[in-house]
Amino acid sequence: MTASPLLATALVGVGGALGAVSRHAVGIRVEGRRSVLVVNALGSFALGAVSAAPIGSTAALLLGVGFCGAFTTFSSFAVGTVRAASETGVRAAATVAVSNLAAALAAFLLGSLLVAESVG
């Protein structure tokens, strides 16, 4: 079943609100640049799991687009990388960037593999 445009918008909005609040909660618990790495890895893991799960399009909108989209934070990743370049140098910033991307990709793959394995 495909969600109507109004329902799709509402699902993304509700998921996004929950994701944003969850992102803030992680930021309170994990301070500094590590919080960006943590939320991006956790959000990528969750998105991998959602992508591999046999769920409908409405759940995918709520969880994948809404929650995971708002929970992860590419803009904070970009700001942190630029800030690291100006504070500690380009080499340190490149390490931050590569670490963040590698963790997110590995977490997505792990999440999708775990769900695919348990479903299949």
Please report whether residue 119 resides in a domain.
no
Q: Which domain holds residue 37?
A: 5-114
- Is 69 assigned to a binding site? yes
Please report whether residue 79 resides in a domain.
yes
70 exposed, middle or buried (CB, 10 Å; 0-12, 13-18, 19+)? buried
pLDDT at residue number 31: 84
Identify residue 41 by its one-letter amino acid code.
Answer: A
* Confidence (pTM): 0.91
Please report whether residue 106 resides in a domain.
yes
**In this model, does residue 41 exceed pLDDT 80?**
yes
Mean pLDDT score of the chain: 94
Please report whether residue 83 resides in a domain.
yes
Please report whether residue 17 resides in a domain.
yes
pLDDT at residue number 6: 95
Evaluate whether 29 touches 80 at the Cβ level (below 8 Å): no
Count helices and strands in the chain by DSSP H and E runs: 6, 0
Please report whether residue 87 resides in a domain.
yes
**In this model, does residue 94 exceed pLDDT 70?**
yes
Please report whether residue 45 resides in a domain.
yes
Please report whether residue 120 resides in a domain.
no
- Is 72 assigned to a binding site? yes
Count of structural domains within the chain: 1
In the 8-state DSSP scheme, what is residue 10? H
Evaluate whether 73 touches 25 at the Cβ level (below 8 Å): no
List of residues 6+ apart from 85 with CB closer than 8 A: 92, 93
